[in-house]
Amino acid sequence: MINCKSDRQIKLAKTAGFCFGVDRAVNLVYELVEKGEKVCTLGPIIHNSQLVADLESKGVKMIDSIDECPKGYTLIIRTHGVEKSVIDCAEDKHVDFINATCPFVLKIHRIVSQQQDGTITLIAGDENHPEVKGIRSYCVGDSYVFKNQNELENILNKFCISEKSSLICVAQTTFSLKEWKKCEKILKKLYTNCRIYSTICNATADRQEEAAALSKEAEAMIVIGGRHSSNTCKLRDVCMASADTFLIETADELKEIEFSPYKVIGVTAGASTPSVIIKEVLKTMSEEIIEKEVETTSAVTEEVVETADTADQAEKAAVKASADGEATFEEMLEESFREDENSKVVKGTVVNITPTEVFVDVEGRKQTGVIAFDDLSSEPIEKSEDAVSIGDVLDLVIMKTDDSEGVLKLSKKLVDQFKGWEDIVAAKESEEVLEGSVISVVKGGVIVVAKGSRVFVPASLTGVPRNQELDVLKGTTVRFKVIDINPSRRRAVGSIKVVANEERKAQQEALWASLEEGQKLTGTVKSLTSYGAFVDIGGMDGMVHISELSWSRIKHPSEVVNIGDVVEVTIKKLDEENKKISLGFKKLEDNPWEILKRDYPIGTDCKGKIVSIASFGAFANILPGIDGLIHISQISWDRVKTPADVLAVGDEVDVRIIDVDFDKKRVSLSMKELIEKPDDTISLLSDTEDAE
């Protein structure tokens, strides 16, 4: 909540802004652009014209069909997803694409596609929305779309859906939760066999419920988001039921709104609204907001801190007042050093240690000094004895004086943080690599403690893949660099990723120097694309083109290898300029022509399967990848006018290898060599009769 000088209150919903799926897709595009890759998106990546315009300014192209994808570009499939035929087309045309469809949408695709044939699918949503079009393309039977309770009842009546029909119901991820519950009630009453899948995104449901609650507290609601965004329009509809509601896309539109009649104004934003637009709107609404008077719930603070990319942003987000109006710990520490060191920063001797507290004698004071376990150390510790021992003399800061009990509440942790700050600043200047412990995980990143100071590392800089939880880092020791600081507030932002990248680069350079063409290596399959497999060969990735995976023709690399497989590869080509490695997977001994040379000498009899027929003969497959020609003259001792008279595709025949041209990759076969030759007299008589 923001209190303005005019007594007007502005309340920001804690769930406002990017949802998981949108944040994942947008960050993906920006990361590719930062790496210098050429990127295009199939339609707008999200329904936000300002963000789309920013991407276009950075060279990201927006196309309307697969055929428009420029050569050399990576195509990003947007968060709403696309129809199955579009994915199939991209794969058939060997387009380099990344599917950034929201995982919650992909879940619906899996649900509807895994049903039995003939299953009827009911979809709650907007039939013209890209997400719904994509869902329908994966349905195995008939599908019907409804926007509300009335449309659902009309569908059930119009199409006479039997109670015995195989029936399921899913919902667009941004569908109205209130409307969904009404429809769900009807289906449970009329169709007890209907399997109902609640597929509304949790973030969408939370956002709608919070907007509904906030609109009941506020006199007016500002909903920020694209006018073509489904979830933003749903938020507007939810808020309109309880308060005057205004839908805006940018802060400039606030000029058209008269706020004077409203004392309490709520603000929420759709899942496609960037945080920078939300902040701009809040700033414009109240330019006289005093930063030190900002009161925000811990949830809001956490969310903003998590999305902070700089120390200044992290610092602003962390500003909060405690319930009884006390200053933050850091402010008290700074003030104590600045105003009266003797009265606020004291020395104490440890006299007793318990599992929850440490008691000290404070020099020059009669009160008992107590350090709570949480205020004992910035470093993660399991027990008090890990940080102090009886007799230790400590520098401590007074957090609170309780005159009624004669107790001083002290903190050693804050003094350690203050003393370690100079080391943090020096590390930033020298680009020193620091080591620290990850003590906590928040939605937008992790907190690392080093030199007694807390350093915030945004999720995008942890090095943890997007689809993996940050909890894997909790309790671990990490190496990082300080990339931004705010000296006045003693806030620091670090990057684990930059250190990992530097170390990986050094490892790659060392590895690159040891590589040579023809070298055999063992690697792990890291990822698969429609055109090949990427294999990690020890810090660097090489690509095995699909044509190098098998001697026979395959449609997708997954027919040969899977992610995680340990494989033996051969370096076919090294591109030093672009640092690209081309790998081979096919083994020479598996080459069907080598097998033919070794095991099938001329004169060998074998089985063949007719695969095609021409006017001059028929082709028969004798080994995977090798077809031989049975010339028309080699089909039978009798005259054959056309091969189709005696052979058909799919026929299995006995043949003899009569000639092989390994240079031209040609094999000649004969069927008649395996048939007893007719008597010459009979043949001559037959020829005479034919002549007459």
- Whether the CB-CB separation of 552 and 538 falls below 8 Å is answered with no
- Whether the CB-CB separation of 199 and 243 falls below 8 Å is answered with no
Q: Is 131 a catalytic residue?
A: yes
Q: Determine how many CB atoms are found less than 10 A away from the CB of residue 182.
A: 13
User: CA 140, CA 216: separation in Å to the nearest integer?
Assistant: 43
Backbone angles phi, psi at 219, to 5 degrees: -90, -25
Q: Which residues of 231-248 are buried (b: 16+ CB within 10 A; e: fewer)?
A: bbbbbbbbbeebbbbbbb
With a CB cutoff of 8 Å and minimum separation 6, the contacts of 628 are 608, 619, 620, 622, 655, 657, 667, 668, 669
Q: Determine how many CB atoms are found less than 10 A away from the CB of residue 623.
A: 18
Long-range contacts, 418-424 (Cβ 8 Å, 24+): 418/333, 418/337, 418/490, 419/395, 419/452, 420/378, 420/450, 420/451, 420/452, 420/453, 421/451, 421/453, 421/490, 423/451, 423/453, 424/450, 424/451, 424/453, 424/455, 424/482, 424/485, 424/492
Q: Which residues are bridge partners to 245 per DSSP?
A: 221
3-state secondary structure of 415: helix
CA-only gyration radius of the chain, Å: 36
What is the tally of helices (H) and strands (E) in the chain? Answer: 18, 33
Q: How far is CA 601 from the centre of its chain?
A: 54
User: CA 218, CA 214: separation in Å to the nearest integer?
Assistant: 6
Q: Which residue shows structure tokens 């902070």?
A: 308
Residue 207, classified by CB atoms within 10 Å of its CB into exposed (0-12), middle (13-18) or buried (19+), is buried
Both structure tokens of 452 = 């007694």
User: CA 593, CA 591: separation in Å to the nearest integer?
Assistant: 5
Hey, what amino acid is at 392? D
User: CA 520, CA 506: separation in Å to the nearest integer?
Assistant: 22
Instruction: Please list the alpha-helical segments (H only) found in 441-569.
Output: 496-514
Q: Which residues are bridge partners to 395 per DSSP?
A: 347
Long-range contacts, 356-362 (Cβ 8 Å, 24+): 357/384, 358/384, 358/388, 360/394, 360/396, 360/410, 362/396, 362/408, 362/410
User: Max CA-CA distance within the chain?
Assistant: 138
Q: How far is CA 674 from the centre of its chain?
A: 62
Hey, what amino acid is at 30? Y
Find, among 452, 471, 547, 460, the residue nearest to 497 by Cα: 460
Annotated catalytic residue: which of 131, 179, 315, 330? 131
Residue 355, classified by CB atoms within 10 Å of its CB into exposed (0-12), middle (13-18) or buried (19+), is exposed
Q: Which residue shows structure tokens 């903190």?
A: 411
445: left (phi over 0), alpha (psi -120 to 50) or beta: left
Q: Which residues belong to the active site?
A: 131
